[in-house]
Structure 1
């Protein structure tokens, strides 16, 4: 069962990559000679500052990759805008093992691609590169300057202090009667807090401004009930005792899970964290001939109930008609509930009872969703041992599942 299921998951994964819809939206770019080119730009809703972007010219289906080192500015109409400008930037680390003992920023001039968050009398920009996040600002047509925020080490105990000079910068440059002094003093160096202040200042100054920061999708959490039909295989083996070598026939059973899905608010909501407590029940028995016992026969009975807890990542591929396809991979922990495997001689007398305790494993899935309500998934749970406390017995338990889902939240 394992090889066909894995092959199916791989085939579907490759098919999804080939046929999932690529979203190109109206936009433009400006080259270093200030030539503006209207085009369709692939909207990836970048979390970090992009290194390139793909676009199509009007009337053409050819996809071209733009090198951002040769682009002065590009934008997706009504959604995002990036500008490439020379700025002074401090790259001091926030990690204690690499942290500087110098309080003041160490500026170096670089040409960076900044994302425009607000454009107006007071403009706000962000630069994201892995763990490095820096905010910049500009007043009217002045110089674009970094908002200074730096962690540094002090004294012999290497305690961490903060240089919050950005608050003073904004207190000086963004004064308005409607903004209280404590709002500057309590300001955090993060996107939400700075956006709120810049919006308030621009409104206070009665200027026209553009906010490129897209409002977060409200539906970033889904709760889905997911009944399923499982097909499970169990086998046991032992190099010492023959009667432990039992391979059970494939058995169908049912289960039900409650999935919590947390959608990340970037990359067009294509990524999600999934957590799904699931009840599963497997009951089976197998009789085989053996020369190790009087009567020449052993019967193994398994009664296995557990709560599975897969925690993983899901990636969506958006299609037309409010539908999408997804793939997911999860780390799966398993908590057995009063479960056991019993072995009996031909006359019904007991040989041994093995308590079931399962190892963790991985689960792979592929499926589809319609109208953000109805879903179907094919999932394969890779082999795991369910008698991990017994060194003389090996076991392998695997499950393929057909899962239906209804999102009620």
Structure 2
């Protein structure tokens, strides 16, 4: 476990750089936290073996993890969204420096700010350093009426010059991240400029469909303490499942939500048991709906993971045939907790060893029935 933790800690440091306020570019390793909000600091190493350094965000002008993300400081106008009688119809503002997240890089680049200092704000920058803050937000008038204050279409039309028909496109674009990204991409194409994306797919939930098949080892303990009866049967079975994995867009996608449906079947028998010299036979089928979470430990070409699932029985049929007791068929089905560990190879192949812990009480006999199941499954992500 210590070895895993060491690897887990190391893999989060990735090649990147930051620019000091003097313009010096310092290259090294930066801990990739895949931030939702602009980071207040970064953890930096000069090399993999060196000690990590905490660098406050005010100490740099920009930083980047190569081919993944970039953040840069800009001084923009932060507007007061509630007008007073003295404001006429133009909001007051103050200048503030905010750390923007770069989404498109080219001759013209596109940035986004999402944080506590102001409403979501977009910004366009030319490669000569000139930039334009895109203004579009609701303001509250003195009479409590809400109106839209928007100047970005007009200002963007003056800021971006390519062809006449492109100006018509700018006039129609909405203050929407996807539309604006498409606009900037098309503008770079119009100017014959290369471009690349940063940090876009990382903010989306990725859904994978994972069919699974496996073997199960099942133990069922039957016990009546008052009569001194106790017997345990075991047997192999099989399981078929279909799992939906919702990969969450933070912390290098180490966390996922799971939704699955699982069908299992097995038979077992014992030749002899107390009060049942001719043995006991067990057959069981179940259909479980599961909801859970998964956590990955990232390695180079594979990922170890742990899974916890709560499984609710949609259908549950168990029959226990005794040689002396009446047959037991009336079981109270209860939710099952599943714990698993496994490995994912090449982003597609899943192998997992899990256990189901459950306990049911028969309604027809004064016997406690406790089950324990071990599962070995293999799956393949088709999306």
**TM tier, shorter chain?**
0.7 to 0.9
CA distance, structure 1, for counterparts of residue 183 and residue 11 of structure 2: 36
Distance apart, 1:137 and its partner CA = 1.1
Output aligned runs, 1:10-409, within 5 Å. 15-20=3-8, 22-58=11-47, 60-89=49-78, 109-119=95-105, 122-129=108-115, 134-138=120-124, 140=126, 141-142=129-130, 145-150=133-138, 166-167=152-153, 170-171=156-157, 173-174=159-160, 176=162, 177-179=164-166, 181=168, 184-185=171-172, 187=174, 189-190=176-177, 192-204=178-190, 206=191, 208=193, 210-213=195-198, 216=201, 222-234=208-220, 242=226, 248-264=232-248, 267-284=251-268, 302-320=282-300, 322-337=301-316, 339-341=317-319, 346=324, 349=326, 353-359=329-335, 361-381=336-356, 383-386=357-360, 396-407=370-381
Deviation sequence 1:248-282 (CA, Å, 0-9, x none): 44544321223343444554444444333221124
Distance apart, 1:82 and its partner CA = 1.0
- Say whether the 8 Å CA contact 2:161–2:167 is kept in structure 1: no
CA distance, structure 2, for counterparts of residue 399 and residue 78 of structure 1: 45
1:88 partner SS: strand
CA distance, structure 1, for counterparts of residue 121 and residue 161 of structure 2: 19
- Say whether the 8 Å CA contact 1:255–1:280 is kept in structure 2: yes
CA distance, structure 1, for counterparts of residue 287 and residue 294 of structure 2: 21
- Say whether the 8 Å CA contact 1:73–1:83 is kept in structure 2: yes
Q: Quickly say closer, same or farther: Cα 1:263–1:172, change in 2 above 3 A.
A: same
1:230 partner SS: strand
1:200 partner SS: helix
Which range moved further: 257-266 or 71-80?
Answer: 257-266
Distance apart, 1:139 and its partner CA = 5.1
- Say whether the 8 Å CA contact 2:240–2:262 is kept in structure 1: yes
CA distance, structure 1, for counterparts of residue 346 and residue 34 of structure 2: 21
CA distance, structure 1, for counterparts of residue 54 and residue 43 of structure 2: 4
Distance apart, 1:199 and its partner CA = 1.8
Q: Which residue of 2 aligns with 1:96?
A: none
Distance apart, 1:22 and its partner CA = 0.9
Distance apart, 1:73 and its partner CA = 1.4
Deviation sequence 1:338-373 (CA, Å, 0-9, x none): x14557682x545x64144332x4433221122234
The unaligned stretches of length 5 or more in structure 1 are 1-10, 93-102, 290-294
CA distance, structure 1, for counterparts of residue 165 and residue 362 of structure 2: 66
CA distance, structure 2, for counterparts of residue 271 and residue 235 of structure 1: 36
- Say whether the 8 Å CA contact 2:263–2:286 is kept in structure 1: yes
1:50 partner SS: coil
Q: Which residue of 2 aligns with 1:292?
A: none
CA distance, structure 1, for counterparts of residue 3 and residue 244 of structure 2: 27
- Say whether the 8 Å CA contact 2:209–2:243 is kept in structure 1: yes
TM-score (norm: length of structure 2): 0.73
Question: RMSD value over aligned CA atoms?
Answer: 4.7
User: How many residue pairs end up in the alignment?
Assistant: 368
Distance apart, 1:59 and its partner CA = 8.1
CA distance, structure 2, for counterparts of residue 408 and residue 119 of structure 1: 32
